[in-house]
């Protein structure tokens, strides 16, 4: 009997064995992947189709597993097969979706009569023969001759006994019927051709009020005397417009200047009553009722300016992207973050990088030792993902409390020389991360020298993120330090396993800040600041309230003399005033009420960690940021050093 469960680490071996055609291996592989297939099917299928989708998918896997190029991609292939089978079942269920009446009317109105008749002829050709005999004459032309009634009776009799199947490929509609269907409809053509004027005169001599013509029916419905001609048409249209307005306003139909004033007044009352939540009516008492209701409501179209807030208390926030370096530099900068945040996700790009669980534990101990006494601050550790990081290290990292791995494209930023050269080299490690629940943090830029510096993030979405999400649908991915509209929209529309961090300097500044008054190296970072349109898109994403976006400062300390060097380092040091900078960005967008979710709730929820119970308080107060702070044997210049800020952490 095939084992009910096979360890994920043995899945690749099973796939390789199944590709050789071993029946026992195929049976074991199907038994092992059936729970995953059923879980995927529950996400993409109707409940009644789950069993069918799983069965069809397992049959496809058994037949085509030999064609799989890489055993590490089996999970992604399984997900693709399940999704394809679910789509087939859905299409079979909803094969013919009805067209909305309004859309159909618009499409018909845009076609000429000749084109519609030709379309109808083509539709007739697809009908069975006994339908083609009766439908055009009895329905299309609108006549009901005795011959047509006999044909209809014969067709009904034939429908009682299914006719023998007949191929439609060679069926053709008679030429006589095509001529009758495509010529303009004239109900009196036969009378005029026969020289008979009796029926024409009889129709023309009828009293206008009793005439069969659609014109007179419209006239009666609009309350207008029957008639014909251009003036009558304008009168009917005008009356119809009045009648619709009268009915909507609750006024008796009529015409004239007084009636127009009555309708306008009624419309004004009705709008005010609806907006005030008062039943429509008129009179002095009703006016008093509306005024009283307006006293506790907001007039329609009015814009309420948000109340000026002088203090803001929020749940203690977290920083989900922080660089603290090591040694004396670490001891200098950790207190700045610990003063504001309860947790911080520490980046692993040291020299050498943090690539093992043991190195991460030792680094965490050094950070904890630098936290001031009495301060509640916990570093959250990550590993540096490389092409050669063994999958076995992921289990050790999970046991040690490591939460994520950071993907640096080789050469993308500071200390990224050991980064990933091709994402496909890491697929086995990513599969282990998906199994153990570790997150993948991505520096979202390509390093192709042919790609413009300001387009690297958008290209990364197309080249890396979309294939990555397809191959590992349940791997949690954080798109670090978003900088573009394309990236923000991608995360906004992605699945629940994708989120992003946004920095304060990308919310406050565009690329002009680097060149205002000359080169300003302390505003230079990677990813670099972008155009104003991208900054606005980031602000909209951060203040939208979406739990896909949360705080990550990307605060990166560098000695001042290296930042101001001919080859200056990339990175803005914002940890000294991080929460004040975010408060300023949200205040500028009139969205201070959204700051707590962005800074304190969305990040812990995505990382499956508890929210803090403590709070911090910000005050609207002008103060000057220090120009420099100590940084080991050197000095460090924070962003906005020597400038005034309007919010201060108390």
Predicted confidence (pLDDT) per residue in 621-645, tens digit: 999 999 999 999 999 999 999 999 9
Distance CA 342, CA 607 (A): 14
Q: Compute the average pLDDT of residues 286-294.
A: 68
* Per-position b or e across 200-213, b if 16+ CB within 10 A of its CB: eeeeeeeeeeebee
Selected residue with higher pLDDT from 47 and 566? 566
Same domain, 399 and 452: yes
Question: Model confidence over 43-60: pLDDT tens digits?
Answer: 777 777 788 888 888 888
CATH code of the domain covering residue 455: 3.20.20.140
Selected residue with higher pLDDT from 333 and 71? 333
- Residue for token pair 């329609």: 300
Please report which confidence band the pLDDT of residue 216 belongs to, taking 50, 70 and 90 as the band edges.
low
| pLDDT recorded at residue 296 | 45
Query: Is residue 3 one of the residues assigned to a domain?
Result: no
Torsion of CA 515, 521, 522, 526, to 10 degrees: 90
Same domain, 26 and 83: yes
| pLDDT recorded at residue 162 | 44
Domain boundary among 48, 75, 93: 93
Residues annotated as catalytic (active site), given as ranges: 554
| Alpha-carbon Rg for the chain in angstroms | 37
CATH code of the domain covering residue 33: 1.10.1740.10
Same domain, 128 and 107: yes
Same domain, 473 and 541: yes
Whether cis (ω within 30° of 0) applies to the bond prior to 635 is no
Please say whether the beta carbons of 401 and 436 come within 8 A: no
Same domain, 108 and 248: no
| pLDDT recorded at residue 177 | 46
Residue 501: CB partners within 8 Å, gap ≥ 6? 320, 321, 478, 479, 480, 481, 482, 549, 550, 551, 552, 554, 603
| pLDDT recorded at residue 280 | 64
Terminal CA-to-CA distance of the chain, rounded, Å? Answer: 67
Selected residue with higher pLDDT from 219 and 325? 325
Domain count along the chain: 4
Please report which confidence band the pLDDT of residue 205 belongs to, taking 50, 70 and 90 as the band edges.
very low
> What is the bridge-based pairing of β-strands 378-380 and 343-346?
parallel
Query: Is residue 175 one of the residues assigned to a domain?
Result: yes
Distance CA 242, CA 258 (A): 13
Same domain, 153 and 69: no
| pLDDT recorded at residue 368 | 97
Alpha carbon 76 to its chain centroid, in Å, reads 22
Token couple for 591: 């969205």
Residue 102: CB partners within 8 Å, gap ≥ 6? none
Same domain, 238 and 380: no
Distances (CA, A) of 468 to 395, 423, 437, 473, 474: 21, 8, 16, 8, 11
Residue 184 has pLDDT above 80, yes or no: no
Query: Is residue 501 one of the residues assigned to a domain?
Result: yes
Residue 209 has pLDDT above 90, yes or no: no
Please report which confidence band the pLDDT of residue 574 belongs to, taking 50, 70 and 90 as the band edges.
very high
| pLDDT recorded at residue 134 | 55
Query: Is residue 196 one of the residues assigned to a domain?
Result: no
Please report which confidence band the pLDDT of residue 355 belongs to, taking 50, 70 and 90 as the band edges.
very high
Q: Is 431 exposed, middle or buried (0-12, 13-18, 19+ CB in 10 A)?
A: buried
DSSP 527: S
Please report which confidence band the pLDDT of residue 210 belongs to, taking 50, 70 and 90 as the band edges.
very low
* Per-position b or e across 472-503, b if 16+ CB within 10 A of its CB: bbbbbbbbbbbbbbbbbebbbebeebbbbbbb
Please say whether the beta carbons of 472 and 430 come within 8 A: yes
Determine if residue 5 is left, alpha or beta; phi over 0 gives left, psi from -120 to 50 gives alpha, anything else beta. beta
φ/ψ of 284, rounded to 5, equals -65, -45
Token couple for 253: 């139909």
Same domain, 86 and 112: no
Token couple for 25: 């291996």
Alpha carbon 285 to its chain centroid, in Å, reads 50
Distance CA 185, CA 43 (A): 54
Same domain, 116 and 262: no
Please report which confidence band the pLDDT of residue 449 belongs to, taking 50, 70 and 90 as the band edges.
confident
Please report which confidence band the pLDDT of residue 559 belongs to, taking 50, 70 and 90 as the band edges.
very high
Selected residue with higher pLDDT from 183 and 602? 602
Alpha carbon 527 to its chain centroid, in Å, reads 24
Query: Is residue 558 one of the residues assigned to a domain?
Result: yes
| pLDDT recorded at residue 68 | 79
Distance CA 633, CA 211 (A): 103
| pLDDT recorded at residue 201 | 42
Per DSSP, the three-state class of 322 is: strand
Q: Please state, as a whole number, how many other Cβ atoms lie within 10 Å of the Cβ of residue 445.
A: 26
Selected residue with higher pLDDT from 99 and 474? 474
Query: Is residue 299 one of the residues assigned to a domain?
Result: no
Distance CA 17, CA 25 (A): 6
* Residue whose C-alpha is closest to residue 313's, from 55, 16, 626, 596: 596
Question: Model confidence over 93-152: pLDDT tens digits?
Answer: 655 555 566 666 666 666 677 667 777 766 666 565 555 555 554 444 444 455 555 665
Distance CA 332, CA 555 (A): 13
Range with the poorest average pLDDT among 245-254, 336-345, 395-404: 245-254
Residue 460 has pLDDT above 60, yes or no: yes
Same domain, 366 and 447: yes
> What is the bridge-based pairing of β-strands 634-636 and 615-624?
unpaired
Please say whether the beta carbons of 219 and 236 come within 8 A: yes
| pLDDT recorded at residue 406 | 96
Question: Model confidence over 377-433: pLDDT tens digits?
Answer: 999 999 999 999 999 999 999 999 999 999 999 877 776 777 899 899 999 999 999
φ/ψ of 321, rounded to 5, equals -165, 100
Half-sphere exposure of 171 (CA within 13 A, CB side): 19
Domain boundary among 93, 124, 143: 93
Q: What pTM, to 2 d.p., does this model score?
A: 0.57
Distance CA 386, CA 368 (A): 26
| pLDDT recorded at residue 229 | 76
Query: Is residue 2 one of the residues assigned to a domain?
Result: no
Domain boundary among 36, 61, 93: 93
Residue 31: CB partners within 8 Å, gap ≥ 6? 2, 3, 4, 6
What is the domain range of residue 20?
Answer: 8-93
| pLDDT recorded at residue 138 | 44
Average pLDDT taken over every residue of the chain: 80
Same domain, 582 and 435: yes
Whether cis (ω within 30° of 0) applies to the bond prior to 352 is yes
Same domain, 105 and 67: no
Q: What's the farthest any 2 CA atoms get from each other in the chain? A: 115
């Amino acid at each position: 009997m095939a084992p009910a469960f096979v360890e994920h680490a043995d899945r690749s071996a099973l796939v390789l064995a199944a590709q050789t055609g071993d029946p026992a291996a195929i049976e074991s592989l199907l038994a092992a992947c059936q729970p995953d297939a059923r879980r995927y099917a529950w996400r993409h299928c109707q409940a009644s189709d789950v069993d069918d989708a799983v069965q069809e998918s397992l049959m496809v896997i058994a037949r085509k597993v030999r064609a799989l190029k890489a055993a590490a991609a089996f999970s992604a292939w399984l997900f693709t097969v399940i999704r394809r089978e679910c789509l087939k079942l859905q299409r079979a269920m909803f094969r013919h979706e009805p067209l909305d009446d309004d859309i159909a009317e618009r499409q018909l109105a845009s076609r000429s009569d000749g084109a519609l008749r030709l379309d109808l002829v083509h539709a007739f050709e697809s009908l069975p023969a006994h339908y083609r005999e009766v439908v055009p004459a009895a329905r299309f032309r609108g006549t009901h001759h005795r011959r047509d009634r006999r044909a209809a009776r014969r067709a009904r009799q034939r429908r009682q006994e299914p006719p023998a199947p007949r191929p439609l490929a060679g069926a053709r509609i008679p030429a006589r019927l095509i001529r009758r269907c495509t010529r303009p409809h004239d109900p009196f053509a036969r009378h005029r051709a026969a020289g008979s004027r009796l029926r024409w005169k009889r129709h023309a001599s009828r009293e206008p009020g009793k005439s069969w013509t659609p014109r007179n029916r419209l006239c009666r419905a609009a309350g207008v005397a029957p008639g014909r001609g251009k003036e009558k048409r304008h009168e009917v249209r005008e009356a119809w417009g009045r009648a619709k307005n009268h009915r909507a306003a609750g006024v008796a139909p009529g015409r004239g200047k007084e009636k127009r004033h009555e309708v306008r007044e009624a419309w004004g009352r009705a709008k005010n009553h609806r907006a005030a939540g008062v039943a429509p009516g008129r009179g002095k008492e009703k006016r008093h009722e509306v005024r009283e209701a307006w006293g506790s409501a907001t007039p329609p179209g009015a814009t309420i300016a948000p109340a000026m807030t002088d203090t803001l208390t929020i749940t203690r926030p977290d920083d989900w992207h922080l660089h603290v370096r090591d040694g004396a530099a670490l001891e200098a900068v950790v207190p700045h973050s610990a003063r504001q945040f309860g947790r911080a996700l520490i980046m692993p790009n040291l020299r050498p990088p943090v690539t093992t669980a043991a190195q991460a534990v030792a680094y965490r101990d050094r950070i904890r030792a630098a936290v001031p006494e009495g301060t509640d601050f916990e570093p959250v550790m990550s590993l540096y993902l490389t092409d050669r990081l063994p999958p076995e290290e992921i289990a050790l990292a999970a046991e040690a409390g490591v939460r994520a791995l950071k993907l640096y494209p080789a050469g993308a930023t500071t200390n990224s020389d050991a980064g990933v050269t091709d994402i496909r080299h890491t697929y086995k490690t990513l599969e282990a991360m998906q199994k153990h629940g570790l997150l993948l943090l991505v520096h979202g830029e390509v390093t192709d020298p042919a790609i413009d510096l300001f387009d690297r993030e958008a290209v990364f979405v197309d080249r890396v993120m979309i294939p990555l999400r397809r191959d590992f649908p349940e791997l949690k991915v954080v798109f670090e330090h978003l900088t573009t509209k394309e990236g923000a929209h991608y995360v906004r529309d992605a699945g629940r396993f994708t989120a992003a961090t946004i920095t304060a300097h990308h919310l406050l500044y565009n690329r002009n800040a680097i060149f205002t008054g000359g080169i300003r190296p302390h505003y230079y970072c990677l990813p670099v600041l972008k155009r104003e349109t991208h900054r606005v898109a980031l602000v909209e994403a951060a203040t939208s309230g979406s739990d896909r976006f949360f705080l990550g400062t990307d605060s990166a300390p560098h000695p001042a003399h290296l930042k101001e060097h001919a080859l200056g380092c990339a990175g803005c040091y914002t940890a000294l005033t991080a929460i004040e900078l975010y408060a300023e960005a949200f205040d500028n967008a009139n969205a201070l009420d959204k700051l707590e979710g962005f800074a304190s709730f969305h990040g812990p929820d995505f990382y499956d960690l508890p929210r803090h119970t403590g709070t911090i308080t910000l005050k609207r107060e002008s103060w000057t940021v220090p120009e420099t702070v100590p940084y080991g044997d050197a000095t460090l210049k924070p962003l906005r050093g020597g400038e005034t800020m309007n919010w201060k952490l108390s």
